[in-house]
Amino acid sequence: MYPDSPGKLLFTPGPLTTSATVKEAMLRDLGSLDSDFLASVHSIRTRLLALGSYPPEDYECILMQGSGTFVVESVISSVIPRDGKLLVLVNGAYGRRIAQTARVHGIALDVLEVAENRKFTPELVAEHLASLTGITHVAVVHCETTSGILNQVEEIGVVVHGAGAVYIVDAMSSFGAVPIDMAGSHIDFLISSANKCIEGVPGFGFILASRPGLESAKGNARTLSLDLYDQWASMEANGHFRFTPPIHTILAFEQALNELDEEGGVRARGERYRQNHIALCRGMKEIGFEVYLAEEDQSFIITSFRYPSNPAFQFADFYERLWTAGFAIYPGKLSHESCFRIGTIGRITSSDVEALLDAIRLVLREMGVYWVSEKVQEAEPA
């Protein structure tokens, strides 16, 4: 356990538990033209590019105000030309949100949807693309935080590239913990945000974009404030955000990047999350909970558990009791199944997961669903 996690521990899809030092980095005021602040912006853009296994000289990093959805909207509304057409691959709520964003902006759209517990195979995407005409852009979510499923962005990217389309990946909940081969996947626009696996606080997101992709976005924006090309041009010209930057969030993020380095980078962070996930699933299965996804499709980011059939289990009650005990879990977001979710990302370790499991056992006993699993009942008689 980290000694510096005051307040609740967040086992959610974000915003996440952050370190005290990340929060402390916000305890100063800087102006948006202050040279210290501009140096932080520059450093963050450079360091985000260096996190990936791709040649940074072919890519650009743009920071954009807002939560993750704003940044997805920035890309969708800025890069697709008036005569373009977007294909969105949907196996969860975040994919559905991308499609909704395109509809709001009047962008020509095709949606390929599969069940929320199924991954897209490259074959299915290839077959679907071959049946359509005029698709210029394809968007997919890497870790669909709705369920915790991890889509094969690299294999799909090869297909998208083969079809000559621009490739947009929402890697919100995976970037910084799951290594992504940006160039090998032919990703033109990768989107993530400050408050997910980099463990910063909410307030902005970022886009890693191929330079040709970005240049072709010029003049395509449908909004002023979310214009990706303009934001990039401004950052390139003088390092400025066009409108008030989330200064304190940026300062916190720079510290979060320092702490990512100290931990050993993306692989080490992913390994800590993987250990969290292993500890969680082992404990939950022992209690008697069922994991929604097949093991091979499941990420270590977030896990969906089915409601137990025991009628004494009421999620709202379960949630409240855990919250009172100091643990925030998350409701489900699946369309057809009653599940709840437990995230294993953020400034938490496997001993925090063990503490959560202890609390879950206790709460279930209080609720009278302690006998979800006979094994647990035998092991720990009340």
Ligand X SMILES: *Cc1c(COP(=O)(O)O)cnc(C)c1O
By the criterion CB under 6 A, which residues form the site for ligand X?
13-14, 67-69, 94, 141, 145, 170, 172-173, 193
CB of 141 to ligand X, least distance (A): 5
Number of residue whose CB is nearest ligand X: 68
Alpha helices in the chain (DSSP H): 20-24, 35-50, 68-79, 93-104, 122-130, 153-162, 211-215, 228-238, 247-263, 265-287, 315-324, 350-367, 374-379
Nearer to ligand X, 98 or 364 (CB): 98
The torsion angles phi and psi of 206, rounded to 5 degrees, stand at -145, 155
Nearer to ligand X, 13 or 308 (CB): 13
Helices (H) and strands (E) in the chain, counts: 13, 14
Nearer to ligand X, 22 or 150 (CB): 150
CB of 101 to ligand X, least distance (A): 11
Nearer to ligand X, 112 or 201 (CB): 201
Nearer to ligand X, 49 or 153 (CB): 153
The torsion angles phi and psi of 10, rounded to 5 degrees, stand at -100, 115
CB of 137 to ligand X, least distance (A): 17
CB of 70 to ligand X, least distance (A): 7
Residue identified by tokens 């931990």 is 263
Question: What is the C-alpha separation between 10 and 92, in angstroms, rounded?
Answer: 22
CB of 214 to ligand X, least distance (A): 21
CB of 12 to ligand X, least distance (A): 10
Nearer to ligand X, 14 or 52 (CB): 14
DSSP state of 3: T
Q: What DSSP string runs through 274-330? A: HHHHHHHHHHHHHHT--BSS-GGGB-SSEEEEEPPS-TT--HHHHHHHHHHTTEE-E
